[in-house]
Structure 1
Amino acid sequence: MEFNKIISVTGKPGLYQVVSQSKNAIIVEALADKKRLAINTTQNVSLLENIAIYTYEEDKPLLEVFTAMFEKTAGKEALSHKESGKKLAAFFATILPDYDVERVYSSNIKKVIQWFNLLVKAGMDFSKVEVSAEDTSEITETE
């Protein structure tokens, strides 16, 4: 599973892996149940590698946040995203202590933790993902 092929689709729960692309749609596979479906090109889709979390200094790419969570939880799932907002914020603060409290909402934290748990369940190993992600970011910066 490649991190740069994982997407979130607006209006649909969960995360999806891009399998193929056609002229008018993206063929994706749900990480949770492995069902495939076509996502119309008019639907809003976000690549997880393009998402960042606001901090007081600079935005942190989601991959860096997931990698820190992976190390903190020793490769296991984090606490449930259904916990109280205070517990989620406290956990998130241990992962990313300088996150911007005013711009990162409780719903954002909940979604990040939910996505992390989905990826861990699907077998994503963030200790191996980081190297390939750095390689691709260097390529895009020089172009």
Structure 2
Amino acid sequence: MPYDLKELAAISGMPGLHRLLRPAHHGVLVESLAERPVRTLAPAKNKVSLLSEISIYTEDPDVTVPLTEVFERIHQQHGPTLPVSAKSGESELSSFLAEIIPDYDRERVYQSDIKKLVTWYSLVSQHRPYQEAQEAASEPESALTNPEAPATAEPTADEPLSTGGIISELDPEPTPTGDPEVTQTGAKKSRKEAE
């Protein structure tokens, strides 16, 4: 997920987007997503809509597109700047969303929803870093990802042991009681015995 939307929310009665910080006695402590963030208390009576839980309706009533995926599609096609704004005309906004989600439901997704989407994307792209997906080439290859890689040999006696290693003969005998508190030199004294 390139944009992390988990802690971002739209709050009724409060303009813009906010980052949720922590619950408070009479609401939620939030920080505005702005050039100069301001912390404030969102009252409990205000509706908090987490961006990570918002989806766009499609023509298939059983399928919705999560906002995180919509943001990813927008970023792939347009980058951080959009060709439209919340003040663009209805036809421009509709064609913009149709470019991103060709099968979006034109009856259930209103112009006000598209304006919110454009505004939210602009805010998030300005104030949150886009995280590039890690490429598989940057990860070291293993025998699981590369079948041509040689199989790992068993460790030698001087190598540290792993769960697949061989226990050397020099290792001490296990304690007879199986109690981890007992060492080779005898039982540990409890705090009461030591005093």
Return closer, same or farther for 1:61/1:126 CA change in 2, 3 Å cut-off: farther
User: Which secondary structure does the structure 1 equivalent of 2:81 belong to?
Assistant: coil
Give the alignment's TM-score, normalised by structure 1. Answer: 0.82
Alignment map for 1:112-123 (pairs within 5 Å) = 112-123=117-128
Q: Distance in 2 between matches of 1:2 and 1:95?
A: 19
Q: Match of 2:28?
A: 26
- Fraction of identical pairs, as percent: 33
Aligned equivalent of 1:48, options 39, 42, 51? 51
Structure number, greater radius of gyration: 2
1:66 pairs with 2:81: no
Q: Distance in 1 between matches of 2:132 and 2:120?
A: 17
Q: Match of 2:112?
A: 107
Return closer, same or farther for 1:116/1:126 CA change in 2, 3 Å cut-off: farther
Q: Distance in 2 between matches of 1:10 and 1:90?
A: 28
- Greater share of helix: 1
Q: Distance in 2 between matches of 1:28 and 1:120?
A: 19
Q: Alpha-carbon deviation of 1:96?
A: 0.5
| Contact kept in structure 2, 1:7 and 1:17, CA below 8 Å | yes
Q: Match of 2:95?
A: 90
CA root-mean-square deviation: 1.6
Aligned equivalent of 1:8, options 7, 10, 33? 10
Please list every run of at least 4 consecutive aligned residues from structure 1 whose deviation after the TM superposition is greater than 3 angstroms. none
Task: Name whichever of 91-100 and 18-27 sits farther off.
Answer: 18-27
Task: Name whichever of 1-10 and 83-92 sits farther off.
Answer: 1-10
Deviations 1:54-87 (A, max 9, x none): 001211111111110111112x221222111111
Q: Alpha-carbon deviation of 1:117?
A: 0.4
Q: Match of 1:138?
A: none
Q: Which runs of 5+ in 2 are unaligned?
A: 134-195
Deviations 1:72-124 (A, max 9, x none): 112x2212221111111111110010100011011100110110000001133
Q: Which runs of 5+ in 1 are unaligned?
A: 129-143
Return closer, same or farther for 1:109/1:41 CA change in 2, 3 Å cut-off: same
